[in-house]
Structure 1
Amino acid sequence: NIDLQYTIENNIELILVNGLEDSLQENERKNLEIFLNQGGNILLAQSRIKADLQTQQASEISSDIFDIVDSYGLSLQTNLVLDKTCGRVNVQQNMGPFRMAVPMSYPLLPVVRDFNKDEVLVSGLEQVQLFFASEIRTDSIPQDGSVNVSPLMFSSNSSSLMSGFFNLHPDPKTNPAMVSLNQPKKLLSARSERSSSESGLLSQMILVSDSRFLADDGGGASPENHIFVMNAVDFLLGDRELIALRSREITNRPLAEIEDSAKVWWKWFNIVLPTVLVIGFGFFRMRRSKARSRMLEDIYG
């Protein structure tokens, strides 16, 4: 573990930072900026919103880490991204006299399957799981060429944004935001290269807009996320050949997404076809039984 209270040693090329919820102390920020200006690299997992599903409460994170993020041409928005392609949570519901846990899709847990195929860092990935991620924008890139930004991963084209008032309840019957997913894809992770105006050295940042991405009780529990983190570390340390070898590993085979109209068609097909087959088989047995009865009558009178 690195303590930013002290100067980061020169033999350290990369630090991983996860989910800051407050501003850095003056000497902590100074040591971090010195490290980055001297060519240090950072993998940062950081949302703009602190959210807790258990209490269903969310609040804006105020931290000067966002000033450092902005210096890399990346702007974390004060919102949460919802995506139709998402994880599931168990919701307690009354089922007659019983109260049972019912699994429900939860758009605030985006499952990312849209990656920048031109980036070796993510081109071999199949999916990544995020928790309460914020949108990243790249409209503040300096025009002097000192910063170069490349997008890494996006939500699907059935997305939306939640801002201002954060209703985290997963049941779409009481929370219409869970089904109002009609916006285009949102940027959720990006890579940036920044040339220091002081030293001229190149520093790299990989930003994932999820404050729990590296935590054991969040994204750290997902095997697919481990591949991304290892790729990011190898990329920032210059060991890019290892990424190509790792990309050959099959982590997941998600089912292809189909339109809602197709889902309805297949639903009715699966309901009607078995019914038709059962009725048809019944008619066949009935005709066969009648034919047998007539044959017995002819034989025995």
Structure 2
Amino acid sequence: MLSYPHFPDLRDEQLAADHPITAGLRQLTLNWASPIHVDAEKNQGRRVTELLHSSVESWASGGLDMVPDFRAWPQTGFAVSGERGPRTLAVAVEGRFDSFFKGKDSPLAGEPAAEPEDGKEKEAPAPITGVIERSPDSARLVLVGANTFASDAALNLVSQGLGTFYTQPTVFVQNAVDWSLEDRGLLAIRGRAQFARTLAPMERSDQLFWEYLNYGLALLGLFAVWLWRQRVRRADQRRYQAILAEV
């Protein structure tokens, strides 16, 4: 598989090990992810937890060209722009959230009543004039910097590259739902589920080392088989000569 920076492969310390959503994932791939910037001042009364972050070698790009050019940039396929460093890709926020309509009229108050289909007048329902100005203090919000990472198209694309059905994004979404509903029992059960064990990324030198080692072990095995066959052949010849000598 070719390296594609727009599909960050998150593993180990890049996933929050102490949060129920990501504690049992071990690996997650996002597609065309965007970094998330959290305003600390606006979230002073809330608990913000970083769930996912990219590697220290990652960078942010504003380019719209998604096709890599490995001739121009053999290592990454894209021009590196800006400063390298980890970027936040998903956060979980707990606390109270103020409504966008706080201090405003209800957007449903001025809606016209629907005309009856049969031409008969019906009693119009009372207009909704109340506005929910804020959420409970126990409200929870999960924000991911990739809006299609769990879509069918993204899952099929990654599954084709791995050669197996890739379900980690759906597990992430299920964990987020269970965490939002405070159902930690299902989180513990799902953490022991089977998942696609993707290989750890390696440098080019490490890949060559293991590749040549496989070739060497194969040749060594063939040489060992040849030596064994030679020994068996000589033993057979000695046995045949002994039989002929007795005759």
Asked if Structure 1 and Structure 2 have the same fold, meaning a TM-score greater than 0.5 normalized by the shorter chain, the answer is yes
Residues 239-254 of structure 1 correspond to what in structure 2 (within 5 A)? 239-254=183-198
2:142 corresponding residue in structure 1: 206
Aligned to 2:66: 168
**Secondary structure of residue in 2 paired with 1:136:** coil
Cα deviation digits, residues 202-246 of structure 1 (max 9, x gap): 342211111212432224884221111111112122223221222
Q: Which moved more, 1:235-244 or 1:266-275?
A: 266-275
Letter in 2 for 1:218: A
Matched AA of 1:188: L
Say which SS state the counterpart of residue 160 (structure 1) adopts.
Answer: coil
Contact 1:115 1:152 in 2 (8 A): yes
Q: Deviations over 1:35-94 (max 9, x none)?
A: xxxxxxxxxxxxxxxxxxxxxxxxxxxxxxxxxxxxxxxxxxxxxxxxxxxxx5xxxxxx
2-side partners of 1:115 and 1:183: how far apart?
Answer: 19
- CA RMSD, aligned part only? 3.8
In 2, Cα distance between equivalents of 1:276 and 1:247:
42
Equivalent position amino acid for 1:209 in 2: G
Distance 1:216 1:276, change over 3 A: closer
Instruction: Tell me which residue corresponds to 1:217.
Output: 153
Q: Which structure has the bigger radius of gyration?
A: 2
Match of 2:181 among 229, 233, 237: 237
Aligned partner of residue 5 in structure 2, secondary structure: strand
Q: Does 1:148 align with 2:47?
A: yes
Q: What is the letter of the counterpart of residue 121 of structure 1?
A: I
Q: Count matched residues.
A: 192
User: Paired residue for 1:191?
Assistant: 92
Asked whether the 8 Å contact 1:116–1:153 carries over to 2, the reply is yes
| Matched ranges for 1:72-111 at <5 A | 88=1, 104-111=2-9
* TM-score, L = length of structure 1: 0.51
CA contact 2:68–2:77 (8 Å) conserved in 1: no
Q: Mark the CA change 1:238 to 1:277 in structure 2 (over 3 Å): closer, same or farther.
A: closer
Normalised by the length of structure 2, the TM-score is 0.60
Change (3 A) 1:216 1:246: same
**Aligned with 1:135 (options 22, 28, 35):** 35
- Report the Cα distance in structure 2 between the residues aligned to 1:283 and 1:274, rounded to whole angstroms: 14
Task: Give the letter for the 2:7 counterpart.
Answer: L
Quick one: distance in 1 between partners of 2:156 and 2:140?
Answer: 22
Equivalent AA in structure 2 for residue 141 of structure 1: A
Q: 1:119 aligns with which of 9, 15, 19?
A: 19
Q: What is the CA–CA distance in structure 2 between the aligned matches of 1:261 and 1:168, rounded to whole Å?
A: 27
Q: Distance in 1 between matches of 2:212 and 2:43?
A: 59
Instruction: Specify every segment of 5 or more residues in structure 1 that has no aligned partner in the other structure, as ranges.
Output: 1-87, 89-103
Shift of 1:188: 1.4
Helix, strand or coil for the counterpart of 1:119? coil
Which residue number corresponds to residue 255 of structure 1?
A: 199
Unpaired runs of 5+ residues, structure 2, are: 103-132, 158-165
Q: Distance in 2 between matches of 1:191 and 1:230?
A: 14
Please give the per-residue CA displacement for 1:88-113, whole angstroms capped at 9, x wherever unaligned.
5xxxxxxxxxxxxxxx3433222322
Shift of 1:116: 0.4
Q: Percent identity?
A: 28
Counterpart amino acid of residue 206 in structure 1: V
What is the distance in 1 between the residues matched to 2:155 and 2:92?
19
